Amino acid sequence: MSELALLKWTIVGAVSARGTAAVKRQKKRQEEARRAQHLERVRETTRRYRDRYRETYQDLLAQGLDRFLPQEFAQVEQQLDELDRLLVHDPLAARDLSLQLAPTISRLPARARQARRENEEERRRQEERLAQLRAEATSELGRFLEQAIAQITDPVEQDLVLEQLQALRHEFAGRSVLPEELPAIQREITEKIRHLRAQGASRAQEWREAKARQMEDEARRKLLDLYTAELAKQPNQLQAQQKRERLENLYKLAQSQGLSLEEFQACVLAETESTESAPYGEEARRQAVRAIVESLNRSGFIVDQPRRIPETDEVLIRAKKPAGAEASFSIRLNGTMIYKFDHYEGMKCRDDIDKVLALLEQVYGIQLSDARLLWQNPDRLSKSARPLDWNQRRESHG
């Protein structure tokens, strides 16, 4: 299991036991009023994102792209309906669903268009292969040759070795052979096809990886557009423009470092966090950093020395367990914290997250609030996936 989330931290002081009941009631009413205002702001902001999701989704439907990814479109439709329901009854849950839906909506246009292209290409190739089979299946050798070529079923692989396949056809198709020569020639064809399949599979994998990177970059741009569009609603446009410039720098960083869409979203959210409240101060952050380091140590992690990145004014903490599990924290001066736990088997990730966060709150007085789960993979069993390498991401552009 792996998990990436963004939340708030504050230093919790001791609560006086001598407070009067009237003060407590007044404080409770004030908290309820602030919470009601907060929920309404969350609802309105999430509703605007919902409208942009719907606009993108309806545009794709109008292009008929849903028939190429029917399951994914049905899932998005279901999530949008659920988002409508949560906006009425639970704006915080609606915001969490919106955060999870944003990467999906951002990826959907590129994936749907690619699926349509592959579908059209496959149909065209099938028609060409059928015509070629009819033209060349005039002898036993010709039929054997086409059957061997038909083993390369992946349209991308076929396209990448098309010239070699055509050369193979020219070499053997229509050749007149004696019956006793046929087995040796068939073995020769089989070996050539095996070599072409291996070559085509390797080149197709490289091509798909390049296309995936291209689509992921398009999705990052779409995601960035979703968030920068929200900046137009801010009253202070000078601050909004400064945020736009920082977000563009984050986008370039994500391109160069190959950050996943979820990792990029976490960075964008940390950058666009509300600055209505004053910064908590460097001393408060030092206390938070010490608490995180000690909590990780008590949970069995080996913690690297925390590093402060001047360009982004964040403190980075990385930790590992002997078995390979990893945890990383980014703590900003405005009280925003991003954590990521990775390289776990099954649900052991959740056990460590609960242990570390509980220590922060119960032992070290760090109040965690406004938590937003950005990405989770509970079924992940692989230990080889690349983690979010905060130090490498920052140092290479420091």
The SS3 of residue 182 is: helix
174: left (phi over 0), alpha (psi -120 to 50) or beta: left
> Per-residue pLDDT tens for 222-248?
888 888 888 888 788 887 787 888 888
Q: What are phi and psi of 333, to 5 degrees?
A: -70, -25
Sign (positive/negative) of CA torsion 44, 46, 47, 51?
positive
CA distances in angstroms from 106 to 70, 102, 199, 226, 315, listed in the order given: 17, 6, 33, 9, 30
As beta bridge partners, residue 11 has: 366
Q: Are the CB atoms for 175 and 186 separated by under 8 Å?
A: no
Residues with Cβ within 8 Å of residue 145, at least 6 apart in sequence: 136, 168, 169, 172, 173, 189
- Is the Cα torsion angle 208, 210, 213, 217 positive or negative in sign? negative
The pair of structure tokens assigned to 155 is 């349209």
Could you give the C-alpha distances from 214 to 7, 217, 232, 332, 340, in angstroms and in order? 30, 5, 28, 31, 25
Residue of 222, 218, 319, 314 lying closest to 273 (CA atoms): 314
What pLDDT does residue 393 have?
Answer: 36
3-state secondary structure of 303: strand
Q: Which residue, chain included where needed, has tokens 């690619």?
A: 114
Structure tokens at 43: 């609802």
Beta bridge partners of 328: 318, 340
H/E segment holding residue 202: helix 182-231
C-alpha to C-alpha distance for 259 and 239, rounded to whole angstroms: 26
Task: Give the single-character DSSP code of 181.
Answer: G
Q: Which two tokens stand for residue 232?
A: 């137009």
**Cα four-point dihedral sign 78, 83, 88, 91:** positive
Residue the block writes with tokens 């009280």: 335
Selection from 138, 165, 136, 167 nearest residue 151 by Cα: 165
Taking only the tens of pLDDT, the chain with its 398 residues reads 677 777 766 665 544 445 567 777 887 888 888 888 988 999 999 999 999 999 999 999 999 999 988 999 999 999 999 999 999 999 999 999 999 998 999 998 999 899 898 888 888 887 776 665 444 434 556 666 677 667 667 776 667 666 777 777 777 666 666 666 777 777 877 777 777 777 777 777 777 777 777 788 888 888 888 888 888 887 888 877 878 888 888 788 777 777 777 877 887 887 776 544 444 678 888 899 999 999 999 999 999 999 987 766 789 999 999 988 999 998 888 788 888 898 887 778 888 899 999 888 888 888 887 777 777 776 543 333 333 343 333 332 22
3-state helix, strand, coil in the chain (%, to 5): 65, 10, 20
Helix axes 162-172, 182-231, angle to 10 degrees: 160
Number of C-beta neighbours around residue 145 at 10 A: 27
**pLDDT score at 301:** 94
Structure tokens at 191: 């070996």
Tokens of 224: 């960035």
What the block records as the tokens of 341 is 């736990």
What residue has token string 């990052």? 220
Q: Return all residues near 164 (Cβ < 8 A) that are at least 6 apart.
A: 196, 199
String of DSSP letters for 58-94: HHHHHTTGGGGSHHHHHHHHHHHHHHHHHHHH-HHHH
Domain boundaries, the chain: 2-14+29-115+208-395, 129-207
- Residue 258 sits at the vertex; the CA angle it makes with 55 and 115, to the nearest 5 degrees, is 45
pLDDT of residue 395: 31
pLDDT at 372: 75
Beta-ladder partners of 8: 336, 369
The predicted model scores a pTM of: 0.52
